[in-house]
Amino acid sequence: MYWLHGLSDTEEAWKHYADIFARERTINSERPRYFSTQGVSSSTTRVNNEIVANPQNIGIGHSMGGIVLRNLDRFSAPSARKINGLITVASPNGGAAIANAFEDNSLLRASQQACYDLAAGPNLELFALPWSFARLGIMSVLGLDLNTTILCEIFARNKLLEKFAGSPAARNDLKQGSQLLSDLNSFNSAIPNLNMIAQENSPVHWRLIGSTLTKDNTTPNDRFFPDAVTVGREVYNGFFIMRTASTVVSAIFGFINPAYFAVAAINGVKATQWKKGRDWIDESETIWNGLTRASRLEQQNYVGATWFPCESPWPPAMMSQDMVNARTNSCGEWVFVERTRNVMVHYPSDGFIPSYSQDRTSLPASNRYFINGANHIEVLNMSGSRLNGAPNDASKARFDDVFDSRDDIFLTPLR
């Protein structure tokens, strides 16, 4: 069994499950390393050199590792195959849109906007008038013309974001619409292929970060960061409410002493800035899903009640035929009219790759497995995962399903 890690990872990635199944089943587990920064072709060559030929070899690849295994299969002659069965796990078989978002700078713009919005309230609270003038004066003396914009430009730099999107070579291979993925998806493999699709619960992006930050802990925790964000959101909302209330009170006192109108204006600006951060947190999952293309706009029909007076307030050109008919038949009544609106729909996702992009529709349904409650990082170790309060090691459960019930190369007896 050859377990391949994913983008920007190491051979330690699969250690948890490789060790478990090496103990439990008649499996020899190997975890070769490759360098994802070199792209899929170079990585395929390295992995090929690391695998000792054996007709019983199985390859299991996480993320980019699954693409490398598929590429190895594509270029292997039947007489020189290094693997004779493969499993892709949370792999971008249809492409990773985050690579596209990096290349068109939408990831950079979104990161900078996040920094602006989150910094707006604290920055104005800590450095409000007149302190901001003193601060700028000190900075000028020191030769440091720092402000929120400059700090956000430094924070949201391309090298930092590249850790999410991969090196130029990796992005070129893994982005949606890449030539390599097109070639792989048109290739008919002659060996058994299985596909495991990870699907995380909302908020997918905060759970992904939580798993990333705790992946080396004894018990990884995908709830760690979402809980922290919930607390942070309440801080922003608390300051927004406090400053809004202060604005109203100061405005009332302004009728007694006009000086309070200035205080009301300052508090109003502060309330607006804190609201930016709160609103960004509320909208962040939709923003992230947009970058990973895990969301779409969909038209939805709905029926709404509309009052039709006998004298039309609208010009005829603004009235649909339904409205004309309704007025003719229902003058002076409330009438139900069908309307259309656009709604945002989120695809299932592992927080990084949408399910539709992990999926390989060319495989039969029996060869596709769903790992529910797992994000892109957590799928490598779900020992600390819980679903509805119960332990949820869905990754191990799906591997057990494969190793127990198949009658081909994947069947792996217990020791």
Domains of the chain: 2-98+168-220+348-405 (3.40.50.1820), 99-163+226-291 (no CATH), 299-346 (no CATH)
Cα(395)–Cα(383) distance, rounded to whole angstroms? 9
Provide the whole-model pTM. 0.85
Which of 45-49, 298-302, 303-307 is predicted least confidently?
A: 303-307
Nearest to 262 by CA among 282, 246, 276: 246
Mean pLDDT for 122-143 is: 56
Q: How many angstroms separate the Cα of 210 from the Cα of each of 189, 220, 224?
A: 37, 8, 5
The predicted pLDDT at position 405 comes to 82
Is-contact 284 114, C-beta < 8 A? yes
| Half-sphere exposure at residue 79, Cβ-oriented, CA atoms within 13 angstroms | 0
pLDDT at 342 over 90: no
Q: In 244-385, at which residue ranges do the beta strands (DSSP E only) sit?
A: 295-308, 333-346, 368-372
Alpha helices in 292-333 (DSSP H): 321-329
Beta strands 193-199 and 86-89 are: parallel
3-class secondary-structure state, position 401: helix
pLDDT at 285 over 60: yes
Compute the 3-state secondary structure of the chain and give helix, strand, coil in percent, each to the nearest 5. 55, 15, 35
Per cent of the chain over pLDDT 90 is 68
Cα(361)–Cα(351) distance, rounded to whole angstroms? 20
Give residue 193's Cα distance to chain centre.
Answer: 26
Is-contact 15 1, C-beta < 8 A? no
Task: Give me 81's structure tokens.
Answer: 């195959």
Mean pLDDT of all residues belonging to the chain? 87
Which amino acid, one-letter code, is at 199?
Q
The most confident of 143-147, 315-319, 330-334, 372-376, by mean pLDDT: 372-376
What confidence tens digit (pLDDT) does each residue in 351-408 have?
999 999 999 999 999 999 999 999 999 999 999 898 888 899 999 999 999 999 877 8
Cα(37)–Cα(203) distance, rounded to whole angstroms? 29
The predicted pLDDT at position 124 comes to 82
Q: In 313-389, at which residue ranges do the beta strands (DSSP E only) sit?
A: 333-346, 368-372, 386-387
The predicted pLDDT at position 322 comes to 59
Q: Greater confidence, 284 or 336? A: 284
The predicted pLDDT at position 79 comes to 86
Cα(278)–Cα(302) distance, rounded to whole angstroms? 30
The predicted pLDDT at position 306 comes to 72
Mean pLDDT for 22-38 is: 95
The predicted pLDDT at position 254 comes to 92
Is-contact 51 32, C-beta < 8 A? yes
The predicted pLDDT at position 210 comes to 94
Cα(128)–Cα(239) distance, rounded to whole angstroms? 14
What confidence tens digit (pLDDT) does each residue in 168-224 have?
999 999 999 999 999 999 999 999 999 999 999 999 999 999 999 999 888 899 998
Mean pLDDT for 117-121 is: 90
The most confident of 15-19, 321-325, 345-349, by mean pLDDT: 15-19
